[in-house]
């Protein structure tokens, strides 16, 4: 890819650059030196090229989602800027309207209803289990923890069809929210338990011991002492799980099919993309309706998310 | 214990607690579910608090891990065993013991193509995403507006693969060369004087076009983790190297790279595992047609569309088998570093 080229740029080191860049009291890094060695202008150009390449596709579709249906198919979105009057909210109205061919409004609500319990439930279950694995002695604890950790390698594809059979034939859930709530919970547990356990092990043991001496039981310690301390870890994993569930296609497709009663917005947008491949006025608006919440959550809670990612990436 | 609770419920779940068509009904269902789960946990914790002393602690431990372990056993372990069993029983998944599904995978031309595509994905995506992420992390390190620059690359991570698929489908949109272009990439081709291309239909080009979408999504992840690793390199090492007169590119080669090796391994393997299981991109953009299918997508097609659950199960097991060495390598590396 063209984006790989900047590194091949000859290392023209401008000495004054290296020296004068220092009055600001920022952390020194080896990579920063390498970047300056490419000489600042080139490094900036390369960075901007990558940033533009990464951003343009999204902007293109975003602009399209506000253009008139006929204009979309007649000219490129980059030609639209000349005429500010050409922009409209009609595509969004049509995509969301209850009786319209897309009817994304109700699917959006399905996504919300699916996501909230599917985030809360595994968080709570995993922190309970992680607490026991971290601080409660019981026989077979370590072996069980390793087993739970090992389950991370089971791809969810392996479990889908038998689970579907259990829901439909043994439990009678069929295509209901209960199927996806439970499935998302199960699939999230191994990683959640592992990450929260790691976080808990870093808390000082004296904290727990002092509470025990004061006569607090495990239930009290868990709720009164640990849960508040765990907030950053829970927030990080919660955002992860939120994005994963909100953006999921496979689990919903398998357990819910495409019915408007239960199916989430990703399923509907994917369906529109298959059956109405060139209805860009619906597809572009639909894509952004499905993206708005996760992107907002991501932007608002970026710090926690990155922290969770680093905990997961570097430790797990 | 929890299993019996859950097992007992569905027969008793009346229709309004199972399905809803109206918006208030759906939210009622959601709150009911949360309330129900809270009740179950409350019960478990109440039971736990009743047990005292050394033996009581064991019971408490069992109650704390019980719900999670039971769910994992029933929802992941048991299904995995069933799937492995089904993969060994022919196309329908119901016959006698046979390896026919596995031999089909390595002999039938369509399935061989699926394996080839998967190999392309798993090799190219981690390498490209990690390289781009690393280069970008270095370029913007300590630059002005670093946080904003990072967010631009990182944002695709928050977008669903369905959404990403549609974004890129639009970039790849095809019109005949003579007509006005609405897809950005073909517009660029036309501007440069080339014929426009059907990027998603012409094989093998289309597989590479899909791979680009996954690289676009994953580079932000690589960039974030690697950027943190770079910033974690101790100042003393850098200062010492500088005093020794080590120049910038040697610094990168002999100090930065070795220092972030562990992070690089984690990033490459994590992206590799994610790529193996990728399904949404292929399904949204080509539906696996035009020679673009990969194992995860073929699993879905065989299981749910072509009525071959046995073959689908075998593909799922193949995914499982492919993930094992990657994860094992990862764990060994982690042990070494620790």
3-state class (DSSP) for residue A67: strand
- Asked if residue A159 and residue A63 are part of one domain, the reply reads no
CB B311 within 8 Å of CB A153: no
- Asked if residue A258 and residue A197 are part of one domain, the reply reads yes
Q: Report how many domains make up chain B.
A: 2
Partner residue facing B256 (CB), from A31, A60, A253: A31
Distance CA A220, CA A216 (A): 6
Residue whose C-alpha is closest to residue B234's, from A231, A163, A28: A28
Put simply, the answer to whether B303 touches A138 (Cβ < 8 Å) is: no
- Asked if residue B168 and residue B287 are part of one domain, the reply reads yes
Highest mean pLDDT among A162-176, A278-292, B119-133: B119-133
Would A15 be classed as within a structural domain? no
Task: List the domain range (segments joined by +) for residue B221.
Answer: 108-337
- Asked if residue B286 and residue B330 are part of one domain, the reply reads yes
Tell me, what CATH number does B134's domain have? 1.10.3720.10
Q: Read off the pLDDT of each residue in A242-271 and give the average, rounded to a whole number.
A: 90
pLDDT higher at B25 or A32:
B25
CB A208 within 8 Å of CB A131: no
- Asked if residue A222 and residue A74 are part of one domain, the reply reads no
Distance CA B60, CA B77 (A): 24
| Domain stops at, among B56, B86, B102 | B102
Residue A292 has pLDDT above 60, yes or no: yes
Q: Which of B12, B37, B65, B186 is the best mutation test for A, with the most CBs of A within 10 A?
A: B65
Partner residue facing B160 (CB), from A47, A110, A291: A291
pTM: 0.86
- Asked if residue A212 and residue A67 are part of one domain, the reply reads no
For residue A84, the distance in angstroms to the closest alpha carbon of chain B comes to 18
Residue whose C-alpha is closest to residue A272's, from A257, A286, A291, A290: A286
Would A123 be classed as within a structural domain? yes
Minimum mean pLDDT among A34-43, A181-190, A225-234, B324-333: which range? Answer: A34-43
Residue whose C-alpha is closest to residue A194's, from A241, A244, A152: A152
Would A32 be classed as within a structural domain? no
Residues of B in contact with A219 (CB under 8 A): 45, 48-49, 60
Residues of A in contact with B31 (CB under 8 A): none
Give percent of chain B above pLDDT 90: 39
Q: Which CA distances in Å does B176 have to A62, B185, B204?
A: 24, 13, 20
Q: Which of B28, B79, B281 is the best mutation test for A, with the most CBs of A within 10 A?
A: B79
Position A55 scores a pLDDT of 94
3-state class (DSSP) for residue A288: helix
Kindly state the tokens that stand for A39.
């000489």
Point out the residues of chain B with pLDDT beneath 70: 1-14, 334, 337-338
- Asked if residue A75 and residue A109 are part of one domain, the reply reads no
Task: List the domain range (segments joined by +) for residue A58.
Answer: 39-88
Position B169 scores a pLDDT of 92
| Domain stops at, among B60, B78, B102 | B102
- Asked if residue A225 and residue A182 are part of one domain, the reply reads yes
Partner residue facing A247 (CB), from B160, B181, B182: B160
| Domain stops at, among A70, A88, A106 | A88
Distance CA B109, CA B106 (A): 8
Position A18 scores a pLDDT of 39
CB A46 within 8 Å of CB B256: no
User: Cβ of A228 under 8 Å from any chain B Cβ?
Assistant: no
Residue A259 has pLDDT above 50, yes or no: yes
Question: What per-residue string of b and e applies to A105-118 under the rule 16 or more CB within 10 Å gives b?
Answer: bbbbbbbebbbbbb
Residues of A in contact with B176 (CB under 8 A): none
Number of other residues whose CB lies within 10 A of the CB of residue A198: 16
Helix (H) or strand (E) holding A120: helix A104-135
Q: Read off the pLDDT of each residue in A184-198 and give the average, rounded to a whole number.
A: 90
| Domain stops at, among B102, B125, B148 | B102
The pLDDT confidence band at residue A96, using thresholds 50, 70 and 90, is confident
Partner residue facing B167 (CB), from A4, A61, A144: A61
Residue whose C-alpha is closest to residue A62's, from B159, B64, B292, B88: B159
3-state class (DSSP) for residue B141: coil
At CA B158, angle to CA B316 and CA A65, rounded to 5?
110
């Amino acid at each position: 890819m063209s984006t790989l080229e900047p590194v091949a740029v000859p290392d023209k080191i401008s000495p004054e650059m290296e020296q004068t860049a220092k009055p600001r009291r920022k952390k020194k890094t080896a990579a920063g030196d390498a970047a300056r060695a490419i000489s600042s202008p080139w490094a900036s150009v390369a960075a901007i090229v990558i940033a533009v390449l990464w951003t343009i596709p999204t902007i293109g579709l975003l602009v399209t989602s506000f253009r008139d249906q006929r204009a979309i198919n007649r000219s490129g979105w980059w030609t639209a800027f000349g005429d500010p009057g050409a922009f409209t909210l009609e595509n969004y109205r049509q995509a969301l309207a209850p009786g319209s061919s897309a009817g994304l409004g109700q699917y959006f609500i399905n996504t919300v209803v699916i996501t909230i319990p599917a985030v809360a439930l595994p968080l709570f279950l995993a922190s309970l289990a992680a607490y026991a694995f971290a601080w409660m002695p019981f026989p077979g604890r370590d072996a069980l923890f390793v087993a739970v950790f090992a389950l991370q390698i089971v791809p969810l594809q392996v479990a889908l069809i038998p689970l579907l059979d259990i829901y439909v034939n043994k439990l009678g859930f069929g295509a209901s929210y209960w199927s996806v709530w439970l499935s998302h919970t199960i699939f999230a547990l191994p990683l959640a338990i592992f990450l929260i356990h790691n976080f808990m092990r870093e808390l000082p043991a004296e904290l727990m011991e002092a509470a025990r001496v004061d006569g607090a039981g495990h239930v009290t310690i868990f709720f009164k002492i640990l849960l508040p301390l765990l907030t950053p870890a829970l927030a990080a994993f919660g955002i992860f799980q939120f994005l994963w569930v909100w953006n999921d296609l496979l689990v919903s497709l398998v357990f819910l099919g495409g019915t408007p009663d239960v199916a989430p917005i990703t399923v509907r947008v994917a369906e529109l993309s298959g059956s109405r491949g060139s209805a860009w006025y619906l597809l572009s608006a639909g894509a952004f309706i499905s993206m708005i919440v996760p992107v907002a959550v991501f932007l608002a809670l970026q710090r926690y998310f990155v922290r969770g990612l680093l905990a997961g990436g570097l430790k797990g | 214990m929890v299993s019996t609770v859950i097992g007992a419920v569905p027969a008793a779940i009346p229709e309004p607690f199972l399905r809803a068509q109206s918006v208030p009904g759906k939210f009622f269902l959601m709150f009911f579910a949360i309330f129900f789960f809270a009740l179950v946990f409350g019960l478990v914790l109440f039971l736990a608090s009743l047990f005292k002393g050394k033996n009581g602690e064991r019971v408490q431990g069992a109650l704390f891990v019980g719900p999670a372990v039971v769910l994992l056993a029933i929802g992941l372990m048991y299904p995995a065993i069933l799937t492995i069993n089904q993969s060994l029983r022919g196309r329908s998944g119901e016959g006698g013991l046979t390896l026919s599904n596995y031999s089909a995978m390595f002999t039938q031309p369509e399935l061989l193509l699926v394996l080839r595509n998967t190999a392309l994905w798993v090799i190219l995506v981690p390498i490209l995403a990690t390289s781009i992420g690393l280069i970008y992390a270095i370029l913007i390190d300590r630059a002005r507006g670093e946080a904003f620059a990072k967010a631009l690359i990182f944002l695709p991570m928050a977008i669903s693969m369905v959404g990403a698929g549609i974004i890129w489908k639009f970039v790849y949109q095809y019109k005949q060369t003579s007509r006005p272009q609405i897809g950005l990439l073909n517009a660029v081709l036309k501007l440069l004087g080339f014929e426009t291309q059907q990027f998603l239909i012409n094989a093998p080009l289309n597989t590479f076009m899909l791979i680009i979408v996954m690289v676009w999504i994953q580079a932000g992840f690589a960039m974030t983790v690697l950027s943190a690793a770079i910033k974690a390199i101790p100042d003393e090492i850098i200062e010492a190297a500088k005093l020794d007169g080590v120049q910038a590119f040697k610094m990168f080669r002999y100090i930065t790279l070795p220092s972030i090796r562990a992070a690089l391994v984690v990033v490459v393997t994590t992206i590799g595992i994610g790529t193996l299981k990728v399904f949404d991109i292929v399904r949204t953009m080509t539906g696996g047609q035009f020679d673009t299918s990969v194992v995860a997508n073929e699993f879905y097609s065989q299981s749910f569309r072509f009525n071959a659950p046995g073959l689908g199960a075998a593909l799922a097991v193949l995914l499982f088998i492919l993930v094992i060495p990657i994860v094992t390598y990862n764990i060994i590396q982690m042990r070494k570093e620790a």
